[in-house]
Structure 1
Amino acid sequence: MSTHGGSSPKQFKASIGSFGNRRPRQRPRSKKHREPELIETRLLRNPSPKAAAAYTPRNELEDSRLRFQIHHYVTIVAARTVTPVGPRFEWYPLAVRDEAFFHAVISATCAHSAYMQKVERPSMFYYHRGIAIRLVNERIATGAHDEGTINAICVFAQHECWMAQPSNAETHMRGLVQIVEAAGGHQFRSAFTDKCSTDLAVSLTVDVKPILPPSVDLSDIKKYLGPPSAATIALIKTFGTRFYNFTGSGLSDYAATVLWGLRNLSELVDAIHEERAFPDTVSPTDIQFSDQVEVLERLVHRLWYVEDANSPQHTIFRTFGWTCLIYIYIVLRDLFKELGMMAMLAKRVKLALENCAELNVLLATFPDLMLWQMFTCGRVAAAREKWFFAQQATKILMVRKTEDASDILKAAESFLWPEKQTRNVASGHDSGMQYPSN
Structure 2
Amino acid sequence: MSILIRNGYVIYGEDFEIVKADVLIEGNSIAEVRKGINESADTVIDASGRVVSPGFINLHTHSPMGLLRGLADDLPLMDWLQNHIWPREAKLTPEYIKVGAYLGALEMIKTGTTTFLDMYFHMDAVAEAVLDSGLRGYLSYGMIDLGDPEKTEKEIKEALREMKSIEKLNSERVQFVFGPHAPYTCSIALLKEVRRLASEHNRLITIHVSETMAEIGQITERYGKSPVVLLDDIGFLGSDVIIAHGVWLDSRDIQILARNGVTVAHNPGSNMKLASGVMPLQKLINAGVNVGLGTDGAASNNNLDMLEEMKLAALLHKVHNLDPTVADAKTVFKMATLNGARALGIKAGIIKEGYLADLAIIDFNQPHLRPINNVISHLVYSANGNDVETTIVDGKILMLDREVLTLDEEKILDDAEKIVGKIG
Higher relative contact order, structure no. (Cα contacts within 8 Å, ≥ 6 residues apart): 2
Q: Give the TM-score taking structure 2 as reference length.
A: 0.24
Q: Give the TM-score taking structure 1 as reference length.
A: 0.23
Structure (1 or 2) with the greater strand fraction: 2
Structure (1 or 2) with the greater helix fraction: 1
